[in-house]
Structure 1
Amino acid sequence: MAFSGKVIWITGASSGIGKALARAFAKQGAKLILSSRNKTALEEVKNSCENCANIHVLPLDLEDYNNLQNKATAAISVFKRIDILVNNGGISQRSLVKDTAINVDKRLMDINYLGTVALTKAILPHFIKNKNGHFVVTTSIVGKIGTPLRSSYAASKHALHGFFDSLRAEQHQNKIFVTLICPGFVRTNISKNALIGDGTLQGKMDMATQNGIDPAHFANLMLTAIKKKKEEVYIAGIKEKMGVYAKRFYPKLLSILIRKLRVT
């Protein structure tokens, strides 16, 4: 029960990994603030959790990153503190570079990168004042490896690694921790809700996603990493993990293998 009594704010909490995290943290007695754009879905997640009296719903839109300071102030006021911010909200993409409109690239960066950065900056003074805090960020294996059909998504996730590695180094003396979680394929609706080249939704689940890790199991592994204050963790299948190490030690080989992935 490592998280009993901890105040944890989760973005992207209305479905998928965020929903599974909410249930896992609630089971351990944490006090939760759940955020996403969909208030109705958030209420459903809240009611599905144990100890739902200790759960507060706070809708927000990461794309509206200029107005997230007010959301941070509201979140702190709920339980008078935040111990852990789980930056889990985001959106994916499935389209070739040549077919992807620039406004789609911008939207991916606005939501996945700038929204996450803005919320982090809004909470950072609170963590500094308390000389304690923990930023948890759901990035992706493609935050380490760019693959076909995910150029904008990979770019936004790579950017998160750069930002949070810098933040970790800057705030170490204030006992502020950063954990980067890199999922492989997880059985959620992320591919259904992914943007295609014209900005509309793909509307179908990828086979690899369908065969991915169960979200509840993923959440339990993620909680273990957070508890241990790991800096960077890959929660993925063996092929995805091997890809990360191949990128580091055998980049040319990985490049050749990635070219062979199906892109249509």
Structure 2
Amino acid sequence: MTFNNKVVWITGASSGIGEGLALQLAEQNCKLILSSRRKDVLEYVKNNCSNPENIAVLPLDLSEINVMKAHVDEAISLFGKIDILINNGGISQRSPIIETSIEVDKKLMEIDYLGTVALSKALLPHFVANKSGHYVVVSSLMGKFASSYRSAYCGAKHALHGFFDALRLEHDKDNIKVTMICPGFVNTNVAKNALTADGSKQGYQDEMTDKGLDVNAFVKRMIKAIRKEKFEAYIGKFETFGVYVKRLSPRLIHKLVLRSKVK
């Protein structure tokens, strides 16, 4: 698969992985649609990209699941079609289960799971009509195994795998592809913006996140996985081995994560 002449829609495009994708894909002879909540920041990202004339900005809030059809119609009208939807938008969480308000769990599910699902379902008829389409979903290694202080985040990411595995099965006949991207630690602001027990932002960087993969290096590997139309790609450092350890022995991954004392 190449990005040549494709229309790629990226959510969560205002910073971190989404911004990195915009900057690198802008050089791939494709058209981009950038979405997140803040139009001014999206415009800033667009203007930092090469070929900004091939980039459109479409503000979108993933928590507003009832208006996704209107967003999809507008997105299609910008360049006449959508070929690839990169579901990158979302938030994280850092707090013990016993202290975490159920409202935090609800918000993580609404944004990370239901928002992504609602947007993807709204776009699905367009993909089916064209007998072509590619969903790229930025999940996490926490969608494959778990870690302490991320219960709501792990729950939402695990749910994404269940939904998109089913979608891949149902629409294989329509030539619709699904690639699940599972990052490990990537040096973005995801930890600073993570919700704590009462719903407030953590406000500081995790040590492991700070030592994570550089965004540009991560995005290069992610783009390679999309080109290969991989079902799943695990991108990070040593932490990616947790996926394989979990398959071998759930008890062993439990012990290893306990010893890591990751927070």
Aligned counterpart, 2:213:
213
Query: How many Å separate the matches in 2 of 1:183 and 1:259?
Result: 20
Aligned counterpart, 1:102:
102
Query: How many Å separate the matches in 2 of 1:263 and 1:214?
Result: 19
The answer to whether the aligner puts 1:257 opposite 2:256 as a matched pair is yes
Query: How many Å separate the matches in 2 of 1:14 and 1:260?
Result: 35
Cα distance, 1:242 vs. partner?
1.3
Asked if the contact 2:93–2:150 (Cα under 8 Å) also holds between the matched residues in 1, the reply is yes
Cα distance, 1:66 vs. partner?
1.1
Aligned amino acid, residue 59 of structure 2: P
Partner of 1:247: helix, strand, or coil? helix
Query: How many Å separate the matches in 2 of 1:82 and 1:58?
Result: 13
Alignment of 1:168-183 (within 5 A): 168-183=168-183
Aligned counterpart, 1:200:
200
Asked if the contact 1:180–1:231 (Cα under 8 Å) also holds between the matched residues in 2, the reply is yes
- TM-score normalised by L of structure 1: 0.98
Cα distance, 1:255 vs. partner?
1.2
Query: How many Å separate the matches in 2 of 1:253 and 1:228?
Result: 31
Cα distance, 1:206 vs. partner?
0.5
Query: How many Å separate the matches in 2 of 1:261 and 1:152?
Result: 20
Query: How many Å separate the matches in 1 of 2:149 and 2:234?
Result: 21
Cα distance, 1:82 vs. partner?
0.1
Partner of 2:26: helix, strand, or coil? helix
- TM-score normalised by L of structure 2: 0.98
The answer to whether the aligner puts 1:160 opposite 2:160 as a matched pair is yes
Query: How many Å separate the matches in 1 of 2:74 and 2:20?
Result: 24
Cα distance, 1:259 vs. partner?
2.5
Aligned counterpart, 1:45:
45
Query: How many Å separate the matches in 1 of 2:255 and 2:179?
Result: 31
- Identify the range of structure 1 (109-118 vs 203-212) with the bigger mean alpha-carbon deviation: 203-212
The answer to whether the aligner puts 1:248 opposite 2:231 as a matched pair is no
C-alpha RMSD of the superposition: 1.1
Query: How many Å separate the matches in 2 of 1:61 and 1:84?
Result: 19
Percent identity for Structure 1 against Structure 2: 56
Asked if the contact 2:23–2:48 (Cα under 8 Å) also holds between the matched residues in 1, the reply is yes
The answer to whether the aligner puts 1:186 opposite 2:223 as a matched pair is no
Aligned amino acid, residue 242 of structure 1: F
TM superposition outliers: structure 1 runs of 4+ over 3 Å: none
- Per-residue CA distance 1:66-91 (angstroms, 9 max, x = gap): 11111011000000100000000000
Aligned amino acid, residue 130 of structure 1: N
Aligned counterpart, 2:65:
65
Aligned amino acid, residue 78 of structure 2: V
Aligned amino acid, residue 57 of structure 1: V
Asked if the contact 1:148–1:261 (Cα under 8 Å) also holds between the matched residues in 2, the reply is no
Query: How many Å separate the matches in 1 of 2:261 and 2:81?
Result: 47
Cα distance, 1:263 vs. partner?
6.3
Query: How many Å separate the matches in 1 of 2:104 and 2:240?
Result: 28
Asked if the contact 2:208–2:262 (Cα under 8 Å) also holds between the matched residues in 1, the reply is no
Aligned residue pairs total 263
Query: How many Å separate the matches in 2 of 1:156 and 1:257?
Result: 23
The answer to whether the aligner puts 1:36 opposite 2:36 as a matched pair is yes
Alignment of 1:141-152 (within 5 A): 141-152=141-152
- Per-residue CA distance 1:109-141 (angstroms, 9 max, x = gap): 000000000000000000000000000000000
Cα distance, 1:261 vs. partner?
3.7
Cα distance, 1:95 vs. partner?
0.2
Aligned amino acid, residue 180 of structure 2: L
Asked if the contact 2:20–2:216 (Cα under 8 Å) also holds between the matched residues in 1, the reply is yes
- Structure 1 unaligned regions, length at least 5: none
